[in-house]
Structure 1
Amino acid sequence: MIKPFILLLCALAVTGCNSYSLEDAKKNGDIITGPPGEINPDKIDGFMKDVENGQKNKIRITSYTIEGEPILNDLYYRLYLKISSCFPAENRARLPPFLCPL
């Protein structure tokens, strides 16, 4: 339980992309954090339960800066945890995904 939680916190520290609005994030059911407040935080519980049970799942955590720039973190779980993130406006390229065996 601790390993996935620590990896999730590390994923939140990685920064994201600029063309993803709050409305897009809400429509897609993202977990949203930052100045808009927390939206859909309960989805993380379902994701963590699936990881503990070895079931495939994916979630997107979208954080917003004070300036309104989105930070996207996609977490995929199959037999490993894959974290794919996107840089802010000044670095639009995607990070290579991190593969974290559990």
Structure 2
Amino acid sequence: MAALWVAVVATAFCAVFAAVLAMGQAVAARHRAGGAADLAVLAAADHALSGPGEACRLAREVAVAQGARVVRCEVRGEFAEVAAEARAGPYTVRVRSRAGPAAAVPGGAG
């Protein structure tokens, strides 16, 4: 009887461990995609005046350096929007990020 309980408890621990491992992979993919999207969009917005082609090329380079890939890049004027995708285990996560110049603050100092 004790052997049966040991087998049941070991199986339960294995199931919990597998669930925690899967959740960890999903969170890692989300963080990698989010960081890559944020850095890539900043690179694109910083070079937006060089043209959309050059800005998106730099965004792709930054995303690849972060272990992700750009799946969408759009530059309008000084504003950029990038979607980056990252994988961890069986999970693929896509994150979108936007950047551009800050708007003037009404009544601000200056």
Report the TM-score when normalising by structure 2: 0.30
Structure with a larger share of its residues in helix: 2
- Name which one, 1 or 2, has greater alpha-carbon Rg: 2
Report the TM-score when normalising by structure 1: 0.32
